[in-house]
Chains A and B, each alone.
Chain A
Amino acid sequence: MARHYSSFDRRGWRWLLQRVTAAFLVVVLAFHFFLLHFVHHAADITFAGTRFRMSNLGYFATMWLFLVTATFHGVNGVYNALVNQGIAGTQKRVAQVVLVAAGALLVVQGTRVAVAMAGISI
């Protein structure tokens, strides 16, 4: 039995970011679910309530960081899964381009949604 095991990869910044975002997401995903399903029931969510919450700078910043970290963690996780399945060469390059584009689009659209929810005019 190995005395110590870690999947730590010294060569990769993505390895570290996947774990840093995981530590953040564990807390914020639990908070998000608790607030919007148990404190406020999803069926009772209204635009007015959403705007009230998103008008708070700390809440807005937390939700935007939630969007960015969840997008990175999810897209990087999909990429890791595909590499794990053995994609290489052109397939790997296509996966990188498609996933980076999908992630960027999601962050842009999510930011537009957050801005609309908060009632910020740009």
Chain B
Amino acid sequence: MSQRYDRGSVEDFGRWTEFSAGMWAWVFHKFTGWVLVGYLFAHIAVLSTAIEGAATYNATLQGLESLLVVRVMEVGLLAVAVFHILNGMRLLLVDLGVGLEAQDKSFYASLVLTGAITVASVPTFLAGLGGG
């Protein structure tokens, strides 16, 4: 027999100190989703320079890639994408009936893996900056 436990509303962010792991997973998944959909529109806007031709496309991409702030934002984008992918796999599995009893552990694993992959990728994202 199932039992219900009322954790309260996750939308009531004022009580964030009481949030459980699953509620943080919900908040992070939503936040990373907003970032990714915003980026998708910006990404297509930048790539639209391809319609103008090779010179505009190359100058735009190389101009952006020469900026430190863009490289740092790319690392942030990777972190956001990796977390959304890993937590998304966790959600798909739970919907298939797998791993609900370990949903808090799989959330922590998603966070740790995201951190590790992000830190390990920093040298790759900063390579060649400043003509080096």
Contact = CB atoms under 8 A, between A and B. Distances in A.
Chain B interface SS verdict (over half): helix
Interface residues of A, number: 45
Interface extent on B, as a size class?
A: 35 or more
Interface in A40-54: 41-48, 50
Interface in A61-110: 67, 70-71, 74-75, 77-78, 81, 84-85, 102, 106, 109-110
Contacts, number: 103
A70 B36 CA distance: 9
A92 to B, nearest CB: 17
A41 B128 contact: yes
A42 B74 contact: yes
Nearest to A27: B85
Contacts of A120: none
Interface of B: 2-3, 11, 30, 33-34, 36-37, 40-41, 44, 47-48, 50-51, 53-54, 57-58, 61-62, 65-66, 74, 78, 81, 85, 88-89, 91-92, 94-97, 100-101, 121, 124-125, 127-129
Interface of A: 1-8, 19, 22-23, 25-26, 29-30, 33, 37-38, 41-48, 50, 67, 70-71, 74-75, 77-78, 81, 84-85, 102, 106, 109-110, 112-113, 116-117
